Structure 1
């Protein structure tokens, strides 16, 4: 199981990423539209853990606004190990500092987050597909690149654990 602290995007950019998800589905690539009964929303993840208690996360982050209205500009597409395809935002100093602050507060509260999300290791991204079939990888990346750039603004944030049916918005 995986739980995360996610930042959600404004309506216009959310709609553009959902259109991309639909296009990938039409190509035979499972996007984030499909898993967990379509509950995923386009987002940027700030921290991931095997399990997160939403109440403890809200308490640890009480001193900051996680849904800070950050401007995000998706400029590239990439692939993580396992053929996970994503849209990548420019790692602005504000975005990197915000993620480090959120991660640091969770760490200080004793939450065991995955090391790939530690400051200095974290790669800002919005996943579009969790496992692209090898024969479709090039076409998937091409389609992602054709959808860029996407300017977005963070409007909301939440603790999400879709496997355990947990979703709690946080300020």
Structure 2
């Protein structure tokens, strides 16, 4: 089964991202909030991995995730990944503390899981907060999202393991 380790945003930043999601939805660009079957919250993923039993991962990663609160996550750019999923995102300026947390997460998780997605491995992470997936009209999506000022000052409020797809919380920090 597929899981992610996500940093949830502080309340103020969460509200700002949700406003962008709402504007995208109103403008005909389905946001992450409106994805079928999703229970998404604004977040920055530190890892995406496949494993059979997430309980062992949750037990091992708990102390690492307990250090996540307060990590700076400035949302400072608007972009798209060029892939089949064509996600639109707000890019995070990575701080040394974020990169240290990311490395600690992977040191704890990788020995316990079957596979970590390559884009989330240390040295490959491009931290971001997803706004929309499968964006067909990038110009329209950009026009809508560009109405909202960046950077958005954001901090991690908590860290969770969630099931993918859907976003069901599996464990808390």
TM category (shorter chain) comes to 0.7 to 0.9
What does residue 140 of structure 1 align with?
A: 141
Task: Note closer, same or farther for the CA distance 1:15–1:38 as it changes in structure 2 (3 Å cut).
Answer: farther
Q: Check conservation: 2:94, 2:127, Cα contact below 8 A.
A: yes
Change (3 A) 1:125 1:37: same
Classify the secondary structure of the residue corresponding to 1:151: coil
Q: Which residue of 1 aligns with 2:16?
A: 16
Whether the 8 Å contact between 1:36 and 1:162 is mirrored in structure 2 is: no
* Equivalent in the alignment of 1:69: 70
Shift of 1:139: 2.6
Candidates 81, 99, 103, aligned match of 2:102: 99
Structure 1 length normalisation: TM-score? Answer: 0.88
- The ranges of structure 1 where at least 4 consecutive aligned residues each deviate by more than 4 angstroms after the TM superposition are none
Q: Is the 8 A contact 2:50 2:114 kept in 1?
A: no
**Pair 1:86 & 2:55 matched:** no
Please say if 1:116 is aligned against 2:119. Answer: yes
Give 5+ residue unaligned stretches, structure 1: none
Q: CA separation of 1:89/1:115 partners in 2, compared to 1, >3 Å: closer, same or farther? A: same
Structure 1 stretch displaced more, 21-30 or 153-162: 153-162
Q: 1:28 to 1:117 in 2, by over 3 A?
A: same
Q: Is the 8 A contact 1:66 1:170 kept in 2?
A: no
For these two proteins, the number of residue pairs brought into alignment is: 169
RMSD value over aligned CA atoms? 2.0
Report the Cα distance in structure 1 between the residues aligned to 2:52 and 2:98, rounded to whole angstroms. 22
Partners of 1:105 and 1:143 lie apart in 2 by: 39
